[in-house]
Every structure is written in C-alpha cells, then in structure tokens.
Structure 1
Amino acid sequence: MNEIDWLQIDARALNVLVAVAEEQSVTAAAVRLGVTQSAVSHTLDRLRAITHDALFVKSGRGIVATAHALSLAERARGLLHELEQFSRAPKWQPASWTATVTIAANDFQRDLLLPALAARLRESAPNVTLRVIPSGIPSLEMLRDEHCQLVITPRPPDGSDVVQRQLFEDDYRVFYDPAMRDAPITRKAYLDAEHVTVVYQPRRPLDLDHWMAAHGITRHFRIMVPGFAGITPFLRGTTLLATVPGRLRTHLLAGLADAKVPIKCPRMPMYLVWHRRYHDDPAFRWLREQVLACVATLKL
C-alpha cells in the first residue's frame, strides 16, 4: 500500500461514506449529496483501496455495509462534526479575553481617548491590560513587528498590509493665558506674537506648522516642546500663543482660553491604524469598536 494513501481521505470522502451507509444505496446517497452516481462510486473505490475493505456489498437488490464500514462510518460522523466546529469561528466574549493590548499614541490622543477606553475594558474585559507607548513618528514596523496592535495618529503610515479608519477631525485653535492678553483677532496680531509649539523627535513639526511654512506663513517660535503636555507651563503668565488641536481644551490645556485662528488653515484628521493580521480577529474587532464608542462620546 502506498504510504501516503491515507492523505487522500478528505471531508467529502467521509461524507460519502456516511451517506451510503445510512441510505444503503449509491443512488440515494448521490441524490442526498447532490452529486452523480459515478462520483459516489469513484469515491467508494478510492476508500476501498485505502481501507482494504469492500465497505459495501450486494444484498438482494440493494447493498449493505460491511462491519468495518459501519465502524468507519461512526468514526467519520465524529470527524465531520469536529471539522464543522473547526470551520466555525469560536463564540468570543470580552469577559473571557486575557491579554496585554498595546496602543501607540501621543499625549493628546492618549488623554483624549484612552482613559475612557480603559474604563470600558475594566467593565467588559477585566482581564485585559492596556499598555500605552509613545507613537513618535508612527511607522509600519511598529505594527508589522507587533510593538503595538493599534496606532492613533493624524498621519497614518502607508502600507498595503495596514488598515486605517478615520476617528474624527479637529479644528486648530489658538490657546493663550486670558490673564495676560486678549485673543489675537487679526492676522497681524497673530503673526506679531511669539509662539509655543510641539516638535517631535527627530525634528518633526506639527502638521499645521509644516503646512504654514509651506504656504509662506512665518511665525516666531519662542518655545518648542516635545509634547502637548509641555505647552501649558509656558503659556501661563506670558503673552505667548500656541496653535494646536482644539480638543486639548478638555484636558492638557484645560483652564486656558482659546480662539479661532485668524488665518484660514486645514482641519486635523485623526486615524486608528492596525495590521491586517488583526483585521478579522473577534477580540481586536471588538476593541476597535470600543475605541469608536469612546470617540462617539466626545463633544464634536
């Protein structure tokens, strides 16, 4: 016997064996399975060669299964059931999920969305640990090498193996200390002022700062800090301005005044990004839904 003959046994062959054993007829089995009689006969011939048993023999005008065929049919039913279960996605529940989930975000995105996400995890998935790492300049390698499972960023990395979903858009606003100055109403007042901004390493400006420079809009930056959390101490007690996403007023820049930028400028989009390996995973699909639910609670 060929040593790899058993590899020719597949689910269809097992299904034929069970059908013929139960129907005691090749014709009836073919009708039941929606195939031709010759296809059933061919499969039985293949199974006979593999099992070295007649499997089904004539009995009067019909056929009956051999003792070995009956035993094999019983085992085949169990195997087919297992294969059916194998093909179905397991029923997944958040409460049973035990994992450490890593999300890359800057301080703005972190404080805006992730405390609410952590609260949802504590309630629905208490065995999940949320780890937050700085996003810096988000790269494909962060997701490909599984440094994190999700990235929140206004500038998604470009790659065919990652997926992105826009979370929201934000308007840029001018923040200032109202005890020290009024809002810069005119373009001239805005450009004559001194500014605080964020410059990520290595020397990556905010998208708005890059856009303004590209359009020939020059401002005097007195202070540059590596994250949004560093802005408030430099605004308080000074006449400095900071032009940053407006939703910072809800946390990192709470207590400062803000006004419309007296120069027409683009809005800032925010995206959730993940690798395709997690796209259909029920746990991470649920996690992404929770992030979107957090976004829905924001005052847009």
Structure 2
Amino acid sequence: MTINSLDPVDIGALRTLVLVYDLQSFSSAAERLNVNQSTISYTVERLRGAFQDPLFVRQGNGVTATERCAALVLWARETIGQIEGLASPAEFDPAVAKGTITISCNHHERQTLIPQFSARLRSAAPHARLVLLDAAGHGNVHLKQNQCDIVLGPVGIIGENFYRRHILTDHYVCVMDPANALARGRITLSAYCKAEHVFVTHNGEWQPLYIDVLKAKGIVLEPAITLPSHDSLERIIPGSSLIAAIPHHLARAMQGGLHIAPLPFRVPISIDMYWSARTAKSGLHKWARSLLAEVAKESAVAAK
C-alpha cells in the first residue's frame, strides 16, 4: 500500500464505513444520511481500494463485514472521537453554547431526572437543544449507531470506545390502590405472590430485574396485565386489586395517589450514564453529563 492509496480516507468516509457496519445495509445507511445509495457504494469502493479488502460482502438482504473491516471500524470509531474532541473549543461557556444533546432513556428517567435536567439546561444553556429517544431496550443500539449522545438507564454497554458513570441507585417498591387489602401493613412474600400483578416490559424488550430474583427463589409469577411502559399505571391500577413493582423514584414522581409499599425482598436498580468517544471531549456534552450527574445526586438525597 502506498501513501497515495490512503487519500480517499477522510472523516466522512470513516463515518460511512461505521454506519454501514452498524446497519449492515448500504440502503439503510443512505437513508440515514439522506443521500443516494450510489453515494454510499462509491465511498465504500474508494475505501476498498485504499485498504485492499472487500470490507463488506453480500448476505441475504444486507451485508456482513470482513474481519479486516471489523478491525478498521474499531479504529475508525476511536479516530472519529479523537478528531471531534480536538475540534471542540478548549473553553466552554454554556451561556453561548450551541448544539444538540440527544439522550436515550426510558419512562423512569424521563419522569424522574429529565424534567429537572431540562429546566437547568434551558436556564444555563438557552441555545442548546435537547432531544429524547425512547430507549425501550435499544439504548445500546442508539449509542453504537451514533443516534444519541448519552444513554441513561439500567443497561450494560461494553466496548473500548464507551464510557460509563454510575449516577443513581434505585430500588423496586410496590404500588397499588390505597383501598387494596395489601396496603394495610407490611406485605409478606406469600401475599405478594398471590396478588394480581402488572408487568412492564418496555415493548417486550425488557424483563423487570426482580423477576430473576423471584425465579431464584423458585417463584414464577403470571401477570394479569402486561404493559409496554409505566406511563398508564396511574390510570389502570386505581379502583382495582392490581399491584405493580416499579422503581421507587418513579413511584414518588407519580401524581395518581397510589399507595407505595416496600416489597418483601429488595432489588437494587443501577441507573448508569453511557457515552462514546465521539462526544467524550466535547465541551457541551461533558457539561451536560456533569449536570445530569448533579441532578441525579440531588434526586437521591430527596428520596431518602
């Protein structure tokens, strides 16, 4: 390989390489970038010549990466992050900062952390924009495909180019109508198991963490109702004998007057913040991450 053969390798080409790798499709990458598929094909052909490798081969309706391509993508992610970090201003002033902060999270974080974060953001950085994505079990995909800057929630994202910061430890509690017989006194494990349960599965993509704890005890619950999100609990539970195990911080944020009771077993929920090398050194995003951590710390103190 000669020096000149690397001329087609620029940051735009590297972004295209990573996107095709993540989506496993030329057409999907073209749609995401709002360009013709021929533009994607042309860029990949230039990279194929530069690295003397096919990079992608057809497989069904999509493409799969070669071993050389997978290694290049790892390098490309880090390189893109480093270049974007160098392009960020050395000094950051939120009052004049412009840009977008995209956060992927679930109903729990949108109800408990985002309202205060949004208010602080708008006050300190009025020219910055906030975009929220519904994680629904796909937060790791949103981050790896550069659809978001931050992922919040009880997820695990592994990789050399991803960073994690623990910001909050929550735990499950039980919510029910105040007239429910279980609202009188402490709930025993036997009474809890006999109750009518509501499960929240985030569109079927997530299993509540307490399920595995119960299975370890040899207990398998059959839900009376399964919901895609927590957002309708306040309208479904009142006037019924239904109960639901949900995060404590979320239960505190509800306005429906539901009774909150401890579960007969304790299951912690680790709320973590993830980001990638792409925004690791960005002034706006570093500031936003610090602000989120500050809001989470204050929320934890208020919940005690």
TM-score of the two chains, using structure 1 as the length reference:
0.66
What are the equivalent positions in structure 2 for 1:42-191 lying under 5 Å apart? 90-183=90-183, 185-191=187-193
In the other structure, the counterpart of 1:241 is: 243
Structure-2 separation of matches of 1:187 and 1:161:
43
Structure-1 separation of matches of 2:139 and 2:160:
13
Secondary structure of residue in 1 paired with 2:270: strand
Structure-2 separation of matches of 1:229 and 1:281:
33
Q: Please say if residues 191 and 220 of structure 1, whose CA atoms lie closer than 8 Å, have aligned partners that are also in contact.
A: no
Higher Rg of the two aligned structures: 1
Structure-2 separation of matches of 1:89 and 1:133:
27
Q: Identify the range of structure 1 (197-206 vs 167-176) with the bigger mean alpha-carbon deviation.
A: 197-206
In the other structure, the counterpart of 2:266 is: 265
- TM-fit CA distance, 1:157: 1.9
What code does the residue aligned with 1:218 have?
V
With over 3 angstroms needed to count, the CA separation of the structure-2 counterparts of 1:181 and 1:126, relative to structure 1, is same
Structure-2 separation of matches of 1:226 and 1:132:
18
In the other structure, the counterpart of 2:199 is: 197
Q: C-alpha root-mean-square deviation of aligned residues, in Å?
A: 2.1
Q: Please say if residues 166 and 270 of structure 2, whose CA atoms lie closer than 8 Å, have aligned partners that are also in contact.
A: yes
What code does the residue aligned with 1:282 have?
G
- Does residue 278 of structure 1 match 2:279? yes
Structure-1 separation of matches of 2:170 and 2:225:
23
Q: Please say if residues 104 and 139 of structure 2, whose CA atoms lie closer than 8 Å, have aligned partners that are also in contact.
A: no
Structure-1 separation of matches of 2:171 and 2:230:
16
In the other structure, the counterpart of 2:289 is: 288
With over 3 angstroms needed to count, the CA separation of the structure-2 counterparts of 1:283 and 1:203, relative to structure 1, is closer
The superposition leaves residues 127-171 of structure 1 with CA deviations (integer Å, 9 ceiling, x where unpaired) of 111111101113543113221100101012222211111111112
What are the equivalent positions in structure 2 for 1:33-48 lying under 5 Å apart? none
Consecutive unaligned residues of structure 1, counting only runs of 5 or more, are: 1-85
Give the number of the structure with larger relative contact order, counting CA–CA contacts within 8 Å between residues 6 or more apart: 2
Secondary structure of residue in 2 paired with 1:131: strand
What code does the residue aligned with 1:240 have?
L
- TM-fit CA distance, 1:182: 3.1
Percent of aligned pairs sharing the same letter: 26
Consecutive unaligned residues of structure 2, counting only runs of 5 or more, are: 1-85
- TM-fit CA distance, 1:251: 2.1
Q: Please say if residues 140 and 151 of structure 2, whose CA atoms lie closer than 8 Å, have aligned partners that are also in contact.
A: no
Q: Please say if residues 104 and 135 of structure 2, whose CA atoms lie closer than 8 Å, have aligned partners that are also in contact.
A: yes
What code does the residue aligned with 1:131 have?
V
In the other structure, the counterpart of 1:83 is: none
